[in-house]
Structure 1
Amino acid sequence: MNRPPSGERFTADWLALREALDARSRSHCLTGLAATWLAARPGQHGVVDLGCGSGSNLAFLAPRLPGPQHWRLVDHDTGLLALARQRGARLRDGAGRRITLEGRCRDLAPVDDGLLAGADLVVASALLDLVSRRWARALVAACAERRQALLVTLSVDGDWAFLDAAGERLEDEEDAAVRDLFQAHQRRDKGLGTALGGEAPMVLADAMREAGYRVETAATPWHLVVGDPAGGALAEALVDGWHAAALVQSPSQADRLADWRERRLAGLAAGKLGVMVGHRDLLALPSPSGSGD
């Protein structure tokens, strides 16, 4: 995940800063396929949102999915969970009916009945790069056992770059060095074992196919164009976050990294740079036979 400037902990301010761009970037096609799959299932639709944060995933999906809906919101942060529940209380499903919801303040491990029981669809946004290969495989196994669908959105693929005024990628040796350090930092243990980082979308897709799921993926990059005033604060936060992660990874390069940060922040402030951050969305649906495509 792209880090907030303050470090490892995700704040409500950071989540609010990225929410509009998340909504523009994510795959509406995969959301529609998930809605079609749910609509074919009778009764109430259970949805579990893993690492729900302040409820942006809930706010995006609830009105786009059929009802009736019951959501289980899962996060270890009590403050963010309270915000998500407040938002959920005002939401309605695709037919205009109120949704129901519950909150679970807990870690995402173990992947057990307390996490997933009763769900038809398991969702997560901007989470997957934080988890380990073991946790991802445990999630796949648990979903397969319960024949649950999985919609995971905005998983970073490890790539980012600055853009020129024409929207073309700028290749820069210092950017590449910082990106390498950032990618190494992504693979540190974030509480669920050695993190997958940018490998996460591919690892999850392969594991879901092996479990007999039909898997669809879509590239969903962020694009912050040159001179976009609405994206300025987010672009600056990204540079600060990349710098902070790189500094943790290589403190001995503090002066070099500070120079890079000042140069890139100046370019953003002057309206000369845009930013691209690579993401992928994934939808995995249990096949009718349970034996794959």
Structure 2
Amino acid sequence: MSASIPQDVFSAEWLALREELDARSRSHRLTGLAVDWLDKRSAGAPYGIVDLGCGSGSNLGFLASRLPGPQRWRLVDHDAQLLVHARRRGALLRDRAGSRVALETHCRSLSPMDRELLADADLVVASALFDLMSRSWVESLVAACAGHGQALLLTLSVDGDWAFLDRHGARVEESEDIAVRTLFQTHQHRDKGLGPALGGEGPAVLASILLAAGFWVESDATPWHLTAGDATQRGLAEALVTGWHDAAIEETPTQAARLGAWRDRRLADIDAGELGVTVGHRDLFAWPAERG
């Protein structure tokens, strides 16, 4: 899930398009802190891991082999078809010791926040989710995790920043790009069905709420970098530009002609190998201070 691109954010096609880049961008340092957290927990029963907004299972696919076992995953998403993909993937996965992971799936909306979804978990994870959520939902989640003494590994939360990159990787900042980015940032705060969305403020809001609730918090910048001229990344870059354009038009429909010209010019620049794209994200790991 994500609002890096504002339409069709839950589609299997979009999730597949971004998965390789997500894996390359994530913070291995924070994943290591999650491993340490679980290693310090008492052995015996399987480690309980809850994946909120799991989509097609990319978080599961990345983490299962890196985390200690045995593992019992609870996958939660509103899309039954994506849960089918996630379950098929999970059936093939092993934990760090080579044992199969156990899975259960819950097809339901994340709103309202249900504390029962977190029952018996040691670690709560989510990826590319918090730009969509409301502050009140985050407060409910953090309160529940604090009550259960759980850690959280929250990855690839967009921070609202994006820009084009030239062939040398330097940011390209033209006035029209800045105007579209501002419109997109405004669009991010629209209610996505889960309350007024945090948009690019998600990482900062997450950190502040967790700190106030008594968690230790570590955070790393995990931006996407799509290189100019890389044909393997062209489809994703074009999808991003189209998404930013569509969001901007929803904010200012009277500017459709101007925004369409901007989109066409930037798509042509990407197709010609002249421009790449960067999209800002942050990863966050938090654990209860009293159990740190």
Where does residue 24 of structure 2 map in the other structure?
24
Per-residue Cα deviation, 1:254-292 (whole angstroms, up to 9, x for no partner) = 0011000000000000000010000000000112358xx
SS at match of 2:65: helix
SS at match of 1:209: helix
Q: Which runs of 4+ in 1 moved over 6 A?
A: none
RMSD: 1.2
Deviation at 1:191, TM superposition (A): 1.3
Amino acid at match of 2:112: P
Deviation at 1:192, TM superposition (A): 1.3
Where does residue 251 of structure 1 map in the other structure?
253
Where does residue 282 of structure 1 map in the other structure?
284
Per-residue Cα deviation, 1:8-61 (whole angstroms, up to 9, x for no partner) = 442101100000000000101100110111011123100000000000000000
SS at match of 1:63: coil
Runs of 5+ consecutive residues of structure 2 not aligned to the other structure: none
Q: Calculate percent identity across the aligned residue pairs.
A: 65
CA distance in 1, matches of 2:221, 2:147: 28
Bigger mean CA offset, 240-249 vs 62-71: 240-249
CA distance in 2, matches of 1:2, 1:189: 12
CA distance in 2, matches of 1:140, 1:11: 28
Number of residue pairs matched by the alignment: 289
Amino acid at match of 2:11: T
Check whether the contact 1:214–1:286 (CA below 8 A) recurs between aligned residues.
yes
Provide the TM-score with structure 1 as the length reference: 0.96
CA distance in 1, matches of 2:79, 2:255: 33
Where does residue 186 of structure 2 map in the other structure?
184
Per-residue Cα deviation, 1:79-135 (whole angstroms, up to 9, x for no partner) = 001100110011000110000010000111222233211111000000000000110
SS at match of 1:128: coil
Amino acid at match of 2:40: A
CA distance in 2, matches of 1:92, 1:209: 33
Provide the TM-score with structure 2 as the length reference: 0.97
Per-residue Cα deviation, 1:184-206 (whole angstroms, up to 9, x for no partner) = 11000011110000101000101
Amino acid at match of 1:253: Q
Where does residue 59 of structure 1 map in the other structure?
61
Deviation at 1:4, TM superposition (A): 4.6
Where does residue 158 of structure 2 map in the other structure?
156
SS at match of 2:120: coil
CA distance in 1, matches of 2:30, 2:9: 29
Check whether the contact 1:126–1:153 (CA below 8 A) recurs between aligned residues.
yes
CA distance in 1, matches of 2:251, 2:238: 20
Check whether the contact 1:144–1:211 (CA below 8 A) recurs between aligned residues.
yes
Amino acid at match of 1:232: R
